[in-house]
Amino acid sequence: MIILTGGAGFIGANTLNSLNKTGRDDILIVDHIASTDKWKNLVGGSFRQYIHKQHLWEWFESNRDVKIEMIIHLGACSDTMEYDFDYHVQNNIEYTKKLWKICSNKQIPLIYASSAATYGDGTSGFLDDHKLVSKLQPINPYGYSKHLFDLWALKQKKTPSKWYGLKFFNVYGPYENHKGRMASVAYFTIPQAEKDGEIRLFKSYLADYGDGEQKRDFVYVQDAIDIMMFFMKASAPSGLYNAGSGKASTFNALAGAIFKAMNKTNRIKYFDMPEALKDKYQYYTEADMSKLLATGYDYRPTSIEQGIGLYYQWYLEHGF
């Protein structure tokens, strides 16, 4: 059996679909759906059982004889604008520690979601070298909570049989409808371009970057899933790994890809960034993917034009 936490979420739902395509349906979905629309992400997926995240510990007690092949832990508070640090600690650190200890005791492989938010404003670079982790300075509580767990994991002498903390960069693609303000820029701008014929982007407040010239490592969600699938099967060294495209693209380029997919003329309008975001905004992210490539993984990331084209087709079929 595979345990998939956050299985009704964005990356989780795509992971479920990919596992199903390989013939796997012996999957325990763990999440906290409550009254949200995340349940829709599970429709059409095949899995054995869904349980609330707080009931997972009881499930372990009641299913001691079940052979668990892997735990993929994607469940977390991923809201970079959530400033309740204690909430982040409970969700992103303490919960993951409990899973880690179970995996260590039972020698179950573990994949967990770290984040590119651990890199902060990027002044320390984007290299997933364990020797550099302690130098990173996240700029929001979410990133700091992920960073603290990464530091904790690297100090542990007792570990799962193999473990991978994946630092996801700016992932975009199907099944992010429920994410609200934390959905990708593509999620918000595709309907804008469809309805209004224009895309609205943040102005820049740094002299080195023109409006819309801020850069992000946009990674299509299937690329992120494929990296996880590789680590499920591979015997690569345990540790932290970047999960990005390896190429920074401007927001203007993203908008251009959307207009191209729609066969429309580029029309971009720049607007003021919220005050609360100005001193916590990343102007540049680009994953260094050399560590992943050194494992032997033949990584061929989807280009921004290809990824947006695929996402737009999904939007036409399913809507947002």
- Please state the three-class secondary structure of the chain as a single string: CEEEECCCCHHHHHHHHHHHHCCCCCEEEEECCCCCCHHHHHCCCCCCEEEEHHHHHHHHHHCCCCCCCEEEECCCCCCCCCCCHHHHHHHHHHHHHHHHHHHHHHCCCEEEEEEHHHHCCCCCCCCCCHHHHHHCCCCCHHHHHHHHHHHHHHHCCCCCCCEEEEEECEEECCCCHHHHHHCCHHHHHHHHHHHHCCEEEECCCCCCCCCCCCEECEEEHHHHHHHHHHHHHCCCCCEEEEECCCCCEEHHHHHHHHHHHHCCCCCEEEECCCHHHHCCCCCECCCCCHHHHCCCCCCCCCCHHHHHHHHHHHHHHHCC
Which pLDDT value is given to residue 79? 79
Q: Does the pLDDT value for residue 220 go beyond 90?
A: yes
Catalytic residues: 142, 179
Q: Which residue's structure tokens are 């003329």?
A: 265
Give the CATH architecture of domain 172-215+248-285+305-318: Alpha-Beta Complex (3.90)
User: How sure is the predictor about 77, in pLDDT bands with cuts at 50, 70 and 90?
Assistant: confident
Which pLDDT value is given to residue 117? 95
Q: Does the pLDDT value for residue 53 go beyond 90?
A: yes
Which pLDDT value is given to residue 180? 87
**What is the pTM for the complete model shown?**
0.96
User: How sure is the predictor about 83, in pLDDT bands with cuts at 50, 70 and 90?
Assistant: confident
CATH superfamily of 2-169+219-246: NAD(P)-binding Rossmann-like Domain (3.40.50.720)
208 or 279, higher pLDDT: 208
Q: Does the pLDDT value for residue 306 go beyond 90?
A: yes
Give the chain's mean pLDDT.
96
Which pLDDT value is given to residue 276? 82
Going from the C-alpha of 125 to that of each of 119, 121, 135, 288, the distances in angstroms are: 7, 9, 10, 9
Which pLDDT value is given to residue 119? 96
Structure token pair of residue 154: 């690297």
Taking residues 241-257, what's their average pLDDT?
Answer: 98
Taking residues 295-317, what's their average pLDDT?
Answer: 97
User: How sure is the predictor about 80, in pLDDT bands with cuts at 50, 70 and 90?
Assistant: confident
* Sequence ranges of the chain with CATH classification 3.40.50.720: 2-169+219-246
Give the range among 126-130, 169-173, 236-240, 272-276 with minimum mean pLDDT. 272-276
Q: Which residue's structure tokens are 């740094």?
A: 206
Q: What burial class does residue 308 get, using C-beta atoms within 10 Å of its C-beta: 0-12 exposed, 13-18 middle, 19+ buried?
A: buried
CA angle 289, 151, 286 (to 5 degrees): 25
User: How sure is the predictor about 245, in pLDDT bands with cuts at 50, 70 and 90?
Assistant: very high
Q: Does the pLDDT value for residue 280 go beyond 90?
A: no
Q: Does the pLDDT value for residue 70 go beyond 90?
A: yes
Which pLDDT value is given to residue 230? 98
Q: Does the pLDDT value for residue 293 go beyond 90?
A: yes
Which pLDDT value is given to residue 185? 96
* Sequence ranges of the chain with CATH classification 3.90.25.10: 172-215+248-285+305-318
Q: Does the pLDDT value for residue 281 go beyond 90?
A: no
